[in-house]
């Protein structure tokens, strides 16, 4: 009976088997360095690309700012030369008209050119389609130039004709120093102009582009002409330009796109030229490269994973089988199971050897313990526990059996007259003779001081009575040292008999034993089942 079922059971944490542990550790040891290297490589290259792009855009913006400054200075020089020529011909209208046409058409630096007198009246203009000759112009650029009486590059403003322009002018002085007026060129920012030629040819198809803002963060050039005139808010590059600084930084544009911007300031105007490229476009080649690396390493990774799984199984298999054997070490078949384990590496081989030695000792101790538990130590016969187990087996298999109950006559007298050692000798002698008359399947037990039982499986009642009589005669005929002759009384019964329970057959045999004693001892009494009455 398993008494451990009444003991409280402790909940033990779930254990990880060795195969999974090896697999997990190996995969982690392979995957983590690979992932770390992959991530570190990506991070370094990503930052390098960003830094390179920022530096390139800054250098490019600086170059364009320098080119724009050169253009503006060149435009001022053109106008200055024209002012010196015009100074002696302020009253010659055809000459003035000729000079404005030359300035407007020769270099194409300006969308329009005009000559103004000291009061702001237009003396000549090109193209003639403007039709403002003879009129006084009171625009922001004209006012500023007349007031300055020097070279002027105006901030962008909306002209009276509705053009968003930059006004560039040079004063006209007579030889005696009198201020005669000015010659000026206008750049129409929302029409095709010199800035388009200077900056527009550098527009990239990957989303990179150039735009220009003035000191007020107003866009004065943009590839999308509709954006010209808009004021940028929340733009880091525009903020730096407004403060007069050039540089490079990550900028989120008005569309919410992260861009890598380099920017530089045009010294004479304070304009800022911004060269920017979407960060996504910058990193796209890196992402494609990393995907290619990943795709090319994936087959190798899969093969490696399969090899790891196979190796983990090969390594863990012997230990798993040994662990399974350790759970059933008390079973006789475990020894052969352990011997069949193929321990192909040193540690499992040594563990297998140790387990076989341990199993041998354990089986030996278990056998000895079972023998001690089921055996009467004095006679070597089975005890009551052994008897109960055998009877349960007969009953489970419905095996009929006969019972012979045996008791030594006047055994107390033997102990009192000759001592307990002599009594023990009598008991051992009876046990020996019971074994002599028993078959291999018969069950001989000592169940009390001088009480014995003999179970005869598959033996009918009359045959059991014959066995009992034979044992009685042999005991009676045998003379023992010191004690002399002894006799025994026997009771015989059989199962199944009149009762269905096995317990009843022992009661019947016991009753027959006492009947034999009442009838004078040294005899056999056989239980006869009552016959059914007609």
pLDDT reported for residue 66: 92
8 A C-beta contact, residue 505 and residue 499: yes
Q: Give per-residue pLDDT as tens, 329-345.
A: 767 777 788 888 888 88
Give the active site residue among 140, 450, 451, 469: 450
Please report, for residues 31, 71, 321, 335, the alpha-carbon distance to residue 316 in angstroms, rounded to integers and kept in the order given: 21, 79, 9, 20
443 C-beta neighbours (distance < 10 Å), count: 21
pLDDT at 116 exceeding the cut of 90: yes
**CATH number belonging to domain 194-282:** 3.30.450.20
The 10s digit of each residue's pLDDT in 150-174 is 999 988 888 767 778 899 999 999 9
Write phi, then psi, for 65 (nearest 5 degrees). Answer: -65, -40
Across residues 454-461, what is the average pLDDT? 93
> Would you list the DSSP string of 219-252?
EEE-SSGGGTTPBP-S-HHHHHHHTT--EEEEEE
Q: Reply yes or no on whether 69 is catalytic.
A: no
pLDDT for 488 equals 93
**What's the CA gap between 262 and 237, in Å, rounded?**
8
Which residues belong to CATH 3.30.450.20 in the chain? 67-183, 194-282
Task: Look up residue 415 and give its two tokens.
Answer: 């102990």
- Between 384-397 and 346-374, two packed helices, what is the crossing angle to 10 degrees? 100
Residues contacting residue 480 through CB under 8 Å, at least 6 positions apart: 425, 426, 429, 486
The model's confidence at residue 8, banded by pLDDT at 50, 70 and 90, is very low
pLDDT in tens, 172-211: 999 899 999 999 999 888 888 777 777 766 545 667 888 8
Given a cut of 70, whether residue 7 has pLDDT beyond it is no
pLDDT digits (tens, 9 = 90+) for 459-505: 999 999 999 999 999 999 988 888 889 999 999 999 885 556 788 88
Percent of the chain with pLDDT over 90: 31
Question: Which range has the top average pLDDT, 26-40, 260-274, 330-344?
Answer: 260-274
Would the pLDDT of 370 be above 90? Answer: no
- Distance from C-alpha of 266 to C-alpha of 154, rounded to nearest angstrom: 13
Q: Which of the four pLDDT bands, split at 50, 70 and 90, describes residue 369?
A: low
What dotted CATH number matches 67-183? 3.30.450.20
Contacts of 416 (CB under 8 A, 6+ apart): none
Pick the CATH number of 384-526 from 3.30.360.10, 3.40.50.300, 3.30.70.1140, 3.30.70.270: 3.30.70.270
**Ranges in the chain annotated CATH 3.30.70.270:** 384-526
- Residue 2: pLDDT over 50: no
- Yes or no: say if 124 and 114 are a contact pair by the CB < 8 Å rule: yes
């Amino acid at each position: 009976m398993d008494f451990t079922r009444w003991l409280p059971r402790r909940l033990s944490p779930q254990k990880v088997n060795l195969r999974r542990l090896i697999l997990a550790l190996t995969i982690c040891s392979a995957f983590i360095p690979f992932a770390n290297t992959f991530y570190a490589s990506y991070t370094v290259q990503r930052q390098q690309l960003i830094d390179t792009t920022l530096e390139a855009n800054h250098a490019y913006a600086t170059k364009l700012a320098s080119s724009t400054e050169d253009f503006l200075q060149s435009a001022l020089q053109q106008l200055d030369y024209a002012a010196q020529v015009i100074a002696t011909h302020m009253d010659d209208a055809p000459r003035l008209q000729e000079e404005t046409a030359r300035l407007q058409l020769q270099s194409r630096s300006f969308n329009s050119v005009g000559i103004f007198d000291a009061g702001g009246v237009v003396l000549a203009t090109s193209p003639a389609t403007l039709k403002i000759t003879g009129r006084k112009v009171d625009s922001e650029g004209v006012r500023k130039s007349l007031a300055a009486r020097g070279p002027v590059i105006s901030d962008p403003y909306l002209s009276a004709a509705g053009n968003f322009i930059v006004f560039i002018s040079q004063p006209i002085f007579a030889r005696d120093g009198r201020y005669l007026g000015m010659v000026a060129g206008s750049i129409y920012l929302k029409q095709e102009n010199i800035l388009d030629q200077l900056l527009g040819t550098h527009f990239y198809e990957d989303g990179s582009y150039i735009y220009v803002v003035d000191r007020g963060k107003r866009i004065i050039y943009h590839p999308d002409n509709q954006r010209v005139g808009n004021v940028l808010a929340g733009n880091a590059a525009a903020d730096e330009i407004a403060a007069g600084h050039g540089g490079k930084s990550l900028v989120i544009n008005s569309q919410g796109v992260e861009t890598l911007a380099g920017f530089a300031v045009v010294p004479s105007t304070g304009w800022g030229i911004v060269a920017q490229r979407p960060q996504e476009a910058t990193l796209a080649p890196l992402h494609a490269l990393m995907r290619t690396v990943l795709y090319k390493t994936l087959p190798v990774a899969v093969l490696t994973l399969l090899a790891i799984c196979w190796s983990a199984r090969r390594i863990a298999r012997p230990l798993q089988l040994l662990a399974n054997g350790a759970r059933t070490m008390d079973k006789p078949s475990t020894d052969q199971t352990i011997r069949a384990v193929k321990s192909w590496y040193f540690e499992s081989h040594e563990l297998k050897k140790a387990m076989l030695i341990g199993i041998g000792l354990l089986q030996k101790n278990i056998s000895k313990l079972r023998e001690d538990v089921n055996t009467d130590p004095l006679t070597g016969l089975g005890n009551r526990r052994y008897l109960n187990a055998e009877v349960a087996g007969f009953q489970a298999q419905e095996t009929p059996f006969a019972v012979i109950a045996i008791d030594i006559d006047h055994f107390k007298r033997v102990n009192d007259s000759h001592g307990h050692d002599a009594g023990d000798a009598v008991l051992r002698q009876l046990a020996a003779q019971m074994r002599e008359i028993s078959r291999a399947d018969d069950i001989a037990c000592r169940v009390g001081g001088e009480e014995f039982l003999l179970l005869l499986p598959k033996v009918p009642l009359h045959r059991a009575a014959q066995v009992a009589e034979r044992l009685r005669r042999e005991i009676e005929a045998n003379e023992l040292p010191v004690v002399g002759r002894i006799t025994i009384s026997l009771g015989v019964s059989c199962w199944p008999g009149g009762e269905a329970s096995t317990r009843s057959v022992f009661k019947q045999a016991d009753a027959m034993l006492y009947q034999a004693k009442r009838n004078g001892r040294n005899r056999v009494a056989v239980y006869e089942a009552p016959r059914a009455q007609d």
